[in-house]
Structure 1
Amino acid sequence: MLDPTSTAAVAAVLGAIGSGLANEAGKAAWENAGGLVRRIVGREVRAPRGRDELDGIAQQVHDAVRHDPALARAWTAFARSAPRPGRPDRVPALHASTRFFTDRDGERRALSREASRKADGRPRIAVLHGPQGIGTSALAIHWGCAEARRFPDGQLYADLRGTGTGAASGADPSTVLRLLLQQLGVPAAEIPPTRDDRQALLRACTTGRRLLIVLDHARSAAQILPVLTSAPGVFVIVAARHPLPGLDAVGIPVGPLSDKDARRLLTEVARAGSVTLDRAAVPALLARCAGSPFALRAAAARLTAQHWRQEGGPGADAARTAVADGIHALAPDAARALRLLAQRDWPAIGAPLAAATLGLDEASAERVLAELAGSHLLESAPNSAHGGGGSYGSGGTNGGGVTYWIRPLIREYAATEALREDGLAAVEQAVRNAVRWCVTLAEPASRAALSQGWRLGDTEGTAPGGVRYSDAGEALTALRDELGNLLQAVRTAEELGDADAVFRLNQALWPVQLKMGCHDELLPALRAGVRATEARDPDSREAARMHTLLGLNLTELGQWPEAESAFTAAARAEQAAGHSRGHATAVESLGLLRLREWRFQEAYDCFEAAGRVLDDIAADGEGSRDLPRARALLERHRGRALRGLGQWVQAETRLESALAFFRETGEAYNTARTLTDLAETFEASGRPVDAVPLIDEAIAALANEQAHYHLIHLRALRERCVDERSEV
């Protein structure tokens, strides 16, 4: 058995805790680890950034505990109950293949050869590449479904298109890793915040497993490389428009169907629609479709509706021609709807969003969407686990309705047509309508999800359709479900020069960041918020607030130097604007960063400085209503910093003060968090007997708070204290 105080064991524990910073248990364990390391080494040791620093700290801990049995026991007890990274517990499957799949025998054989290639340490990976509409995605899915027996441990899928801000380069690799880990069953709160840790966890989760990973709509090798593993049982299929330079993979070009297979596909799809093909017209139709599966399916759909137009010729881009034919065959209102909805890459278009964009009632919007879907110009939106969906569950704004997305091929053509058919003014108005709808959806949901938080310039409003949320959890779910559209709205608002909408959307998404993480998804939007508000006025309160929100995000992602710069900029702007409440928040946030960095004295100094700023707020001044709670939170934070410094009595005094406030106001969650801090202070100071009743009270307080990870942390803390009590 590995000695828990060995350098390797200490490094493993610190690494595991650092990887678990996505949930409350991990954050608490990390902060406690910093205090314990400081106590063991006898001086301040800053939190490690990178493997080399972590190994150096592990060596210092090992050198200290081997000469002190009491410290060795303290570290061993802590290590035994430290949180461990998540492990997979699902066998995921691909979504169903298309019903009508023709030919591709050569490409399928090439996939099978790479999948069964003898393991030699090189990743097994194949890139299917071809123009839009040629069927690379369908081929990847069909082969995966047909060969499911090869992969008894599961098949994963990620759509790399990307949505929202930063989507031009596709989904961020960190987001791709998170999507894959979630499909394997790793809970969101156990997925590490940094890309390197996610990459390490995915490799650990795939070791010894036989898995297929399908990466669809890839745009660059950079999206793929972090996913690759040398695990012999893993096969990766990438679908892309072009070969991906920089990726050492088997390239499999996917070209047009042969005339024979094109005829077969057209015949099967037409037969399913109960249409008898006109044999005389088939040759011209096949020539026009030029072996494009997308064009053939679209043509068959129009045959079903008796709309096919024999214009154009075989020389044109078949898929683009099919899109043009489909749009021209639409009723005028449906064609206009498609053109205007295509202005942005909305990941999930439901009736409410469509109605707002087009200026229709929801029933009319639903009818138009159904017509577009029936013409194969809209497709059902992918599941959120497969690429950031946006449909509500039951009770949400979409009422559980169907949502759609527009293929890039169709969107590009329709968006261009809109300028000619509808004019720039109409196009811009439609886009602004969509952004406005997103703002009016997000703000009431945000207030319901986090009713006690303060917001800058917040105004009361109701959600679209008068939706009421039964509790904070339902409102938070609504925000998370619509996140893809809200992020796209941020990007759109920035392009429109609407800094107010950019700010309001980012502020409304704060509960998602605070309670659900999603830090990698939100980061581009927050950067857009800083750009937009600074361009309007760098010393404005909105710019300051955006710097604070960005800093909090960067803190969770482990990008601490940039987080420090953001908080410093926020404090400077808040002070320049004369906004004391915001200034205090920025300074307090810098203190929380210092806690994460194990810089406990500097953290305490920040909390003291934030308290002095709060003292400058007049009794009837802005933010005064929130002052008692803000001071109580600062007291808790001071107590945490003092515990890290080993000043047990002073820490207890601060924490008791905060606890009295939260008990009186009935804030169950903050009561439990403060009880936990106090119990940890008692344990660290050698009073495990006094800690146990506080832990029991905290567990009872969280009974209805759905604080799963905090409860795990409390139970581990209780077990540790009971063991220490028995030793005493």
Structure 2
Amino acid sequence: MSVPGGAAQQLLARLCGDLRQLRAEAGGPSLRVLAAEVGLGKSQLGAILNGRVERLPEWRVVRAVAAHCHAYAREQGRSATLSARFGVEEYWRRRHTAVEQLLSESPPVAQTAEPEPEAEQEPMRPRGLPPGGRHFIGREAELAALTAAEGTVIVTGPPGIGKTSLAVHWAHRAADRFPDGQLYVDLRGFGPSEAVLTADGATRGFLEALGVAPDRIPASPDAQLALYRSLLTDRRVLVVLDNARDTEQVRPLLPSGPGCLAVVTSRSRLAGVVVAQAAQVLHLDPLSAQESADLLAARIGQQRLRAEPDAADGIVRACARLPLALSVAASRVALQPALSLAELVRELCVEPGELEALRTGDESTDVRAVFSWSYRTLDPHTARLLRLLGLTSGCDLAPAAASSLAAVPLCTTRRALAELSDAGLLSEHRPGRYLMHDLVRAYARELAHDTDSAAEREQAVRRLLDHYLHTAHRAAVLLHPPFSDIAPDPPGDGATALDLADGAAAQAWFDAEHAVLLAETSRACASGFGRHAWQLTWALSGYLDRRAMWACWHEVQELVLSTAERDADLPGQAHGHRDLARVFSRLGRHDESHGRLRRALDGFTALGDADGLAQTHLNLGQTLERAQRHPEALEHSRRALELFTTSGNTAGEAYSLNAVGWQLGLLGDHGRAVAYCRRALERLEQVADPQGVADTLDSLGYAYHHLGDLPAAIASYEQALAMFRADGDRFGVACTLQNLAESRLAAGEAAAAREALREAWGILDRIGHASADAVRARLDTA
């Protein structure tokens, strides 16, 4: 709602001024922290506090700013210094309502009104709970405690005690209390691998579940958390955080809205959450003997228990009254009707094992034997697949990846996965995506080390990495034909890559697998597969760049480069330095980028890799241009063009022609810039590279603009914009929108220019880019 001149404008200015004064009297908090708490970008909140707004801020924003400033003042012991008029929420409500009423009575001033922003999409009402167990038994006191709880509840207890079952069962029963949805995530806090899901990763998944489009998810973790909290502020949502490791993993994900409830399951006590959030702790003990017998009866029938009551009691004792162990034991009985309960008890007593993850302190019981019962019912192919699945990172798995892991045909793998799911050793948590419980994974890993040789285990891991690497390489080439390629070793026997049809299929595969690829890359670095690690990162880098996931890219790039240096892998070091430089350039760290590229030049020169050397010169041109060192940038781009032309690399030549044209334009030689860019387009048509075409059209638009041909400039920018959008390149969209806005302004199309700038600023603000403030300032003066 735009604000007219006169009284409404004055009241709005006073409202913003009072908020600014309140923050000053409170002694803070910092603008970044306050913006995160309120759920806005830093520049957005700064504009409100400084009165640089043309519309009334939402009531929730005004209320949240006042509340957080008061809370900060109390923490700092400054509450007594606050002006008396700032002391009650009613004051802010009256001020906000006064402006709102004037707006409803007076139309906006046409010449100062700005177009309405794109409407925020109504958040979805997610129904993300996994299926509840059909045979949930007992826990009436715990269910009642959950029903009476408010805020945050931590469900804790030893492994196998049924924490997840209780949380999910209650969540389904209480779903009607949370009409705005239920969010669920397995944080993978405990397991045989280190693939713990971070709070940042969980937040991104929650935003997607709440209906936030991928191109509207901020790149900055802090901004993602702020958006997540703002979406839940006035909603009634249940958040289930399953299998948490520590306080730092949980605390950012706790909803602050009074209508929300968080249920956290963990083996840890999470004392930090208890202290900071006043969370209620619900500790689970083993089932009672009667509840354990009821669970067995529900699974295998009351008649079988009555026929062998002593043996039934023996199973309960052997399973230590742990629900997971009892369920696996019952599954074995149900699948083998001819097997007596007494025979199962004898197996347990005669063949004890020891699974550390299920130790209860009762030396008379051993739950590993329970897992072995199910394992021994599997056919040899399925049993082997189970063991090998214990060697994976802990993320979910598609059948094609499992097929390469085991080196068996896909149809055989699908049957084995179905058998493992039927036996309760695996779950298909989404169509075509399989997860293994961490306790089962520990058992499977143990079996693999006991049964399969070290060479067999190493070959299985290599096949899995080969599958991911070669599929990722195919996907990267489909999305952006490389002009400095890598050469992965041929996949090992039994490893296959997916046959992706086109760029859309490649994009969908990266969307589904990028988290798995990152986890497997980390494992590869730690387990002696450094070459796979850096090549996987090379293949994934384009996706991470287009999605503006620069912080994530930076983290994994540092890791693979360190591994290549440890392994004395010279190609890995050269590629690692260059790709790390690309990340640094995106993050605005131009000096570090320049230094890494110089080391990459030395590496590719020593390797005699002409294309690698050429691309590094091209990257140097880009980094120097972003650092405003245009003559040096042009020199490196021309050197790249010479090298690519000599080697006959059409794609590299095309990109270098565009780079030379762009830098000539920045230096004012716009006529020659057009000539170079047109030559680039001719070559790009030969290699079918939409990203390269979009980049070149943007360069042409810049040159046409400065030659005074505004219709040609606008047409070029519009074409580039459509291609960047189709490619999911968020930063490319934002940059072209800024350029388009300048041409629109020059053509006298002020409203269209402001619309383009507003969208560009929104993208840059969401991804946390440093140029967001400059674009906001340009929008204010456009």
Q: Does 1:662 align with 2:681?
A: yes
> In the TM superposition, what is the alpha-carbon distance from 1:109 to its structure 2 partner?
3.0
Q: Does the Cα contact within 8 Å between 1:162 and 1:172 map onto a contact in 2?
A: no
Q: Does the Cα contact within 8 Å between 1:153 and 1:209 map onto a contact in 2?
A: yes
| Other-structure match for 2:127 | 93
Distance of 1:423 and 1:464 partners within structure 2: 19
Question: Over residues 100-129 of structure 1, what are the superposed CA-to-partner deviations in whole Å (9 max), with x where a residue is unaligned?
Answer: 2222233233333332xxxxxxxx222211
SS at 2:261 equivalent: strand
| Other-structure match for 1:412 | 442
| Other-structure match for 1:374 | 422
Corresponding residue to 2:503 among 456, 462, 472 = 472
Q: 1:490 to 1:721 in 2, by over 3 A?
A: closer
> In the TM superposition, what is the alpha-carbon distance from 1:491 to its structure 2 partner?
3.3
| Other-structure match for 1:327 | 375
Q: Does 1:357 align with 2:444?
A: no
> Residue type matched to 2:444 in 1?
A
Aligned CA RMSD, in angstroms, stands at 4.6
Distance of 1:487 and 1:402 partners within structure 2: 20
Aligned length in residues: 632
Q: Does the Cα contact within 8 Å between 1:172 and 1:223 map onto a contact in 2?
A: yes
> Residue type matched to 1:287 in 2?
R
Q: 1:636 to 1:476 in 2, by over 3 A?
A: farther
Distance of 2:302 and 2:481 partners within structure 1: 53
SS at 1:325 equivalent: helix
> Residue type matched to 1:373 in 2?
S
Distance of 1:620 and 1:723 partners within structure 2: 42
Distance of 1:564 and 1:138 partners within structure 2: 53
| Other-structure match for 1:343 | 391
| Other-structure match for 1:194 | 220
Q: Does the Cα contact within 8 Å between 1:356 and 1:433 map onto a contact in 2?
A: yes
Distance of 1:466 and 1:501 partners within structure 2: 14
Question: Over residues 78-137 of structure 1, what are the superposed CA-to-partner deviations in whole Å (9 max), with x where a residue is unaligned?
Answer: 99689889765311113332222222233233333332xxxxxxxx22221122222212
Distance of 2:292 and 2:385 partners within structure 1: 31
> In the TM superposition, what is the alpha-carbon distance from 1:441 to its structure 2 partner?
3.0
Distance of 1:318 and 1:477 partners within structure 2: 44
Question: Over residues 457-479 of structure 1, what are the superposed CA-to-partner deviations in whole Å (9 max), with x where a residue is unaligned?
Answer: 36898996685332111123223
| Other-structure match for 1:628 | 653
Corresponding residue to 1:613 among 639, 644, 655 = 639
Question: Over residues 427-447 of structure 1, what are the superposed CA-to-partner deviations in whole Å (9 max), with x where a residue is unaligned?
Answer: 223222322333333333332
| Other-structure match for 2:766 | none
Q: Does the Cα contact within 8 Å between 2:617 and 2:639 map onto a contact in 1?
A: no
| Other-structure match for 2:767 | none
SS at 1:312 equivalent: helix
Q: 1:676 to 1:550 in 2, by over 3 A?
A: same
SS at 1:231 equivalent: coil
Distance of 1:269 and 1:613 partners within structure 2: 73
Q: Map 1:189-588 onto structure 2 (within 5 A).
A: 189-247=215-273, 248=276, 249-271=279-301, 278-306=308-336, 309-310=344-345, 311-312=347-348, 315-316=363-364, 319-380=367-428, 382-383=429-430, 402-457=432-487, 467-519=498-550, 522-537=553-568, 540-553=570-583, 566-567=596-597, 569-579=599-609, 581-586=611-616, 588=618
Q: Does the Cα contact within 8 Å between 2:397 and 2:433 map onto a contact in 1?
A: yes
Distance of 1:83 and 1:572 partners within structure 2: 49
Distance of 1:201 and 1:404 partners within structure 2: 30
> In the TM superposition, what is the alpha-carbon distance from 1:531 to its structure 2 partner?
2.1
Q: 1:459 to 1:437 in 2, by over 3 A?
A: closer
> Residue type matched to 1:105 in 2?
E
| Other-structure match for 2:771 | none
Q: Does the Cα contact within 8 Å between 1:337 and 1:368 map onto a contact in 2?
A: yes
Distance of 1:206 and 1:360 partners within structure 2: 46
Q: 1:328 to 1:257 in 2, by over 3 A?
A: same
Distance of 1:437 and 1:668 partners within structure 2: 27
Q: Does the Cα contact within 8 Å between 1:479 and 1:512 map onto a contact in 2?
A: yes
Q: 1:662 to 1:586 in 2, by over 3 A?
A: same
Distance of 1:408 and 1:280 partners within structure 2: 32
Q: Does the Cα contact within 8 Å between 1:638 and 1:651 map onto a contact in 2?
A: no
| Other-structure match for 2:761 | none
> In the TM superposition, what is the alpha-carbon distance from 1:705 to its structure 2 partner?
6.1
Q: Does the Cα contact within 8 Å between 1:114 and 1:250 map onto a contact in 2?
A: yes
Q: Does the Cα contact within 8 Å between 2:195 and 2:394 map onto a contact in 1?
A: no
Q: 1:504 to 1:684 in 2, by over 3 A?
A: same
Q: Does the Cα contact within 8 Å between 2:601 and 2:616 map onto a contact in 1?
A: yes
Distance of 1:403 and 1:193 partners within structure 2: 26
Q: Does 1:125 align with 2:152?
A: yes
> Residue type matched to 2:504 in 1?
G
- Bigger shift: 667-676 or 246-255? 667-676
| Other-structure match for 2:140 | 105
| Other-structure match for 1:42 | none
Q: Does the Cα contact within 8 Å between 1:97 and 1:141 map onto a contact in 2?
A: yes
Q: 1:664 to 1:80 in 2, by over 3 A?
A: farther
Q: Does the Cα contact within 8 Å between 2:691 and 2:727 map onto a contact in 1?
A: yes
> In the TM superposition, what is the alpha-carbon distance from 1:530 to its structure 2 partner?
0.9
Question: Over residues 537-558 of structure 1, what are the superposed CA-to-partner deviations in whole Å (9 max), with x where a residue is unaligned?
Answer: 36x2321212232343455567
Unpaired runs of 5+ residues, structure 1, are 20-25, 31-75, 116-123, 384-400
Q: 1:246 to 1:591 in 2, by over 3 A?
A: farther
> In the TM superposition, what is the alpha-carbon distance from 1:272 to its structure 2 partner?
11
Q: 1:574 to 1:246 in 2, by over 3 A?
A: farther
> In the TM superposition, what is the alpha-carbon distance from 1:222 to its structure 2 partner?
1.3
Distance of 2:213 and 2:601 partners within structure 1: 35
TM-score (norm 1): 0.74
SS at 2:392 equivalent: coil
SS at 1:168 equivalent: coil
Distance of 1:234 and 1:277 partners within structure 2: 48
Q: 1:346 to 1:199 in 2, by over 3 A?
A: closer
| Other-structure match for 1:120 | none
Q: 1:161 to 1:186 in 2, by over 3 A?
A: same
> Residue type matched to 1:634 in 2?
A
- Bigger shift: 83-92 or 336-345? 83-92
Corresponding residue to 2:200 among 152, 169, 174 = 174
Distance of 2:188 and 2:249 partners within structure 1: 10
> Residue type matched to 1:497 in 2?
G
Distance of 2:232 and 2:601 partners within structure 1: 44
> In the TM superposition, what is the alpha-carbon distance from 1:208 to its structure 2 partner?
1.5
> In the TM superposition, what is the alpha-carbon distance from 1:323 to its structure 2 partner?
1.9
State the percentage of identical aligned residues.
24
Q: 1:111 to 1:685 in 2, by over 3 A?
A: farther
Q: 1:708 to 1:579 in 2, by over 3 A?
A: closer
Unpaired runs of 5+ residues, structure 2, are 4-8, 21-30, 45-109, 350-361, 751-782
Question: Over residues 240-298 of structure 1, what are the superposed CA-to-partner deviations in whole Å (9 max), with x where a residue is unaligned?
Answer: 11112322332221221122222222222224999986434221111122221111211
Distance of 1:198 and 1:526 partners within structure 2: 22
> Residue type matched to 1:633 in 2?
N
